[in-house]
Amino acid sequence: MLHTANGHYVEVEENVTLYVEDVGEGKPVVFVHGMPVNHRIYEYQQSVLPQHGIRFIGIDLRGYGRSDHPLNGYTYDRMADDIKAVIDQLNLNDVTLAGFSMGGGVVTRYMGRHRGHKVSKLMLFGAATLSKLPEEAVNGLIVGLQADRPQTLTNMFKGFFHTAPSQGIENWLWHMGMEANVHATIETVKAIGSEDLRSDLEAIRVPTLMLHGVHDQVCPFPAAEQAHEIVSTSKLVRFENSGHAPFYEEREKFNREVIEFVLA
């Protein structure tokens, strides 16, 4: 494992290394991003949570951000294994594990596949748990990524918000999306369309906080309500003025909910 000023490069399997941002001291919260962004999607949490005694640990999944872009390994199983490798190599305990969108699906798989190893609390943000992409949507997205990835990402990010953000925010997201490896992006789209997480949800036993925008068009709110019914230890918080990005659109409320849950 290599260290930088605020991060680590963690080898999760032979010749595959992930970048992990690590800021602050206190209760560790491991944040997992969605497709096609990276850990920097949590910028408005990374700049706030360490001031409240929370250690921010943001993973760039394989194929994304500053992590390696191998040919294989873009299933939820393998990405869940990657998270376990990071948690173990950083010697983390009493972890709050958090996932957004596809990352919510990955951390849900982690809870089932690894029986919640080292995790004492779970957070799901606009999570892709029971809101699988239909086959035609998956195929259409793959065609778009192969034919014109820049425009496809532009269209995708416009659907993130309930209220149109600034051009700067759109540009910021677009650049994150373009930093991702195109093969990794396509393979994870396939995973989102094929993974079944119901049994993983049923395996969750730890306190779970679900934060979800009621206007979410990517992972619709009714799917969050269904997941909430399955996870008996969960609390579902509605974000009335948010689409798929409550961490940005209602970030003060979002951060308050996160801080209260982690420190409780």
Residue positions annotated with a catalytic role: 101, 216, 244
Which residue, chain included where needed, has tokens 């420190």? 263
CA dihedral 95, 100, 102, 106 (to 10 degrees): 10
Cα–Cα distances (Å) from 94 to 54, 97, 114, 263, in that order, read: 12, 10, 15, 12
Strand partners, 18: 10
Joined together, the tokens standing for residue 185 give 């992006």
The phi and psi torsions of 81 (rounded to 5 degrees) equal: -65, -40
Burial zone of 92 (CB within 10 Å; 0-12 exposed, 13-18 middle, 19+ buried): middle
Joined together, the tokens standing for residue 228 give 């909430």
Joined together, the tokens standing for residue 99 give 């996932």
Query: What single-letter DSSP state applies at residue 67?
Result: S
Would you say how long the chain is, in residues?
Answer: 264
Distance CA 210, CA 41 (A): 18
Closest to 66 (Cα-Cα) out of 115, 7, 121 = 7
Closest to 101 (Cα-Cα) out of 46, 56, 156, 54 = 156
Distance CA 213, CA 234 (A): 16
